[in-house]
Amino acid sequence: MIRMNRKDLESIAWLADYGFRVWTMPHDNGVRRGERLPKDRAQQMSDALASFERKLVPWPSETENEKERRFGSYEDRMKRMWEYYD
Do 31 and 22 form a contact (C-beta atoms < 8 A)?
A: yes
**Does the pLDDT of residue 1 top 70, yes or no?**
no
pLDDT at 65: 84
Do 17 and 73 form a contact (C-beta atoms < 8 A)?
A: yes
pTM for the full predicted model: 0.74
Tens-digit pLDDT profile for residues 9-54: 788 888 888 999 999 999 888 899 889 999 999 999 998 888 887 7
Nearest C-alpha neighbor of 50 from the set 70, 27, 20, 80: 70
Domain range summary for the chain, segments of one domain joined by +? 6-28+35-85
Cα–Cα distance, 31 to 69 (Å, whole number): 26
pLDDT at 23: 92
